């Protein structure tokens, strides 16, 4: 009889390399502090709930109202009977919010990138993506029939050299706006200039800037004044919006094409209507309460300055995502565990999420973090730094 012993061997290799992972269970909402299922209260510094909308009473009530009206699940794919009023309302709200003709709601950011990037680029096309784009982008592009090349965001000259060759029917440039593991931003203005000069399409994943940047919170492209020149925006809703799923926003023709051709959209059950209703309410709050963004950026700026003064390497971060570069997975785990024992939940990020030799702690700041929580984290980090000389 066949067994799965080979899996156990691989897991042992992961443990030996300090790469084994497990899920820690939280028994509360994800505010600045959480209650762990087994380990009591911790101050949370690894959640993407940047604006604390996941636990906002208005968002929760909007979701509850929708659940009472429309039930718990959608019970079908969108093209069968799974499209309900909250889905349509969210799509209309998001299209207006992002300044696009139309929008489509999908179950996750991963699914959204799969739908866009495995469907629109076709044989004879080229996709150019940042080397450090999210795995959902990379895997989606690999699933398409198009060729692909990578570039570094600090080397758009290579990108232009490729564009200048003009050897493909169509070219798609794909980037994240804020890079999720480094906390720095794409030069979206430079990408817009290149896409206009060479007739390319530009697709921007605003996962970690949606809600947190821009005059009304529409993201980095809005902040940089080029949102109307971006062809397609992918806007995951599981970060600052505090919900789940993702929006794809763009021209009506693109959305119609995805509805009819994108297998990740066609062959999956629609997200629960309550999620759509809660997300729509969160977007309204984002547009009317800019003080949340202001407080988030104040907290992040204070923490970046403090960590730098402590001699910690935060890379090129200029956002509320702040890596502390440590190098080895062993060191990252040791310091993460020390912080956890001290009452601070900070995840260690290791390969394959990041490149070998670049393991780090990834701090995620929330608008509701209090000054004493930020200061306490820095004190705990200062005490944990002594571990650096004990592990490689």
Q: Which two tokens stand for residue 265?
A: 């959209």
Q: Is 369 a catalytic residue?
A: no
Query: Of the listed 108, 118, 136, 180, which one is catalytic?
Result: 180
Query: Of the listed 182, 205, 223, 281, which one is catalytic?
Result: 205
Rg of the chain on CA atoms, in Å: 21
User: In angstroms, rounded to a whole number, what is the distance separating the alpha carbons of residues 384 and 307?
Assistant: 13
User: In angstroms, rounded to a whole number, what is the distance separating the alpha carbons of residues 327 and 315?
Assistant: 12
Angle value at C-alpha 306, between 181 and 353, nearest 5 degrees: 15
Q: Is 180 a catalytic residue?
A: yes
Cβ neighbours of 164 (radius 10 Å) = 11
Q: Is 223 a catalytic residue?
A: no
Q: Is 176 a catalytic residue?
A: yes
**DSSP 3-state of 350:** coil
Query: Of the listed 18, 42, 47, 48, which one is catalytic?
Result: 48
Query: Of the listed 176, 184, 281, 330, which one is catalytic?
Result: 176
Q: Which residue has the tokens 């060729």?
A: 147
User: In angstroms, rounded to a whole number, what is the distance separating the alpha carbons of residues 249 and 103?
Assistant: 4
Q: Dihedrals φ, ψ of 279, to 5°?
A: -65, -40
User: What distances in angstroms separate CA 219 from CA 146, 179, 204, 294, 339, one per listed residue?
Assistant: 28, 13, 10, 14, 32
Q: Is 239 a catalytic residue?
A: yes
Query: Of the listed 42, 87, 100, 134, which one is catalytic?
Result: 134
Q: Dihedrals φ, ψ of 114, to 5°?
A: -60, -45
Q: Is 134 a catalytic residue?
A: yes
Q: Is 92 a catalytic residue?
A: no
Query: What angle separates helix 109-117 from helix 135-143, to the nearest 10 degrees?
Result: 30
Query: Of the listed 87, 195, 239, 369, which one is catalytic?
Result: 239
Listed residue (58, 45, 34) closest to 241, CA to CA: 58
Beta strands 344-345; 126-130: pairing state: unpaired
User: What distances in angstroms separate CA 305 from CA 320, 332, 378, 384, one per listed residue?
Assistant: 12, 21, 11, 19
User: In angstroms, rounded to a whole number, what is the distance separating the alpha carbons of residues 293 and 230?
Assistant: 23
Query: Of the listed 208, 317, 330, 367, which one is catalytic?
Result: 208
Q: Which residues are catalytic?
A: 48, 134, 176, 180, 205, 208, 239
């Amino acid at each position: 009889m066949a067994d799965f012993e080979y899996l156990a061997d691989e897991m042992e290799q992961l443990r030996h390399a300090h790469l084994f992972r497990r899920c820690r269970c939280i028994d509360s909402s994800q505010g600045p502090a959480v209650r762990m299922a087994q380990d009591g209260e911790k101050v949370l510094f690894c959640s993407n709930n940047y604006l604390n909308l996941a636990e906002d009473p208005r968002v929760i009530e909007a979701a509850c109202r929708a659940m009472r009206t429309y039930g718990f699940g959608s019970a079908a794919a969108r093209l069968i009977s799974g499209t309900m009023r909250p889905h349509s309302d969210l799509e209309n709200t998001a299209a207006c919010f992002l300044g696009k003709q139309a929008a489509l709601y999908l179950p996750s950011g991963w699914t959204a990138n799969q739908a866009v990037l495995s469907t629109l680029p076709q044989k004879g096309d080229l996709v150019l993506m940042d080397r450090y784009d999210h795995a959902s982008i990379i895997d989606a592009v690999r699933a398409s029939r198009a060729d692909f090349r990578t570039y570094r965001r600090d080397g758009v000259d290579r990108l232009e050299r490729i564009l200048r060759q003009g050897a493909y029917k169509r070219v798609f440039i794909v980037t994240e706006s804020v890079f999720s593991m480094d906390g720095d931003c794409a030069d979206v203005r430079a990408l817009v200039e290149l896409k206009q000069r060479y007739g390319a399409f530009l697709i921007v994943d605003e996962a970690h800037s949606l809600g947190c940047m821009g005059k009304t919170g529409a993201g980095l492209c809005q902040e940089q004044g080029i949102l109307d020149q971006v062809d397609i925006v992918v806007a995951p809703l599981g970060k600052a919006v505090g919900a789940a799923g993702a929006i794809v926003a763009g021209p009506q023709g693109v959305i119609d094409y995805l509805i009819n051709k994108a297998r990740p959209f066609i062959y999956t059950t629609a997200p629960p209507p309550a999620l759509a209703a809660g997300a729509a309410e969160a977007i309204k709050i984002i547009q009317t309460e800019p003080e949340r963004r202001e407080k988030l950026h104040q907290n992040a700026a204070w923490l970046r300055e403090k960590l730098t003064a402590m001699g910690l390497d935060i890379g090129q971060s200029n956002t509320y995502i702040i890596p502390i570069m440590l190098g080895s997975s062993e060191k990252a785990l040791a310091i993460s565990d020390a912080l956890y024992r001290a009452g601070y939940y900070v995840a260690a990020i290791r390969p394959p999420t990041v490149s070998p030799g670049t393991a780090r702690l990834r701090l995620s700041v929330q608008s509701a973090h209090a000054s004493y929580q930020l200061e306490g984290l820095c004190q705990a980090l200062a005490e944990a730094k002594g571990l650096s000389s004990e592990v490689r």
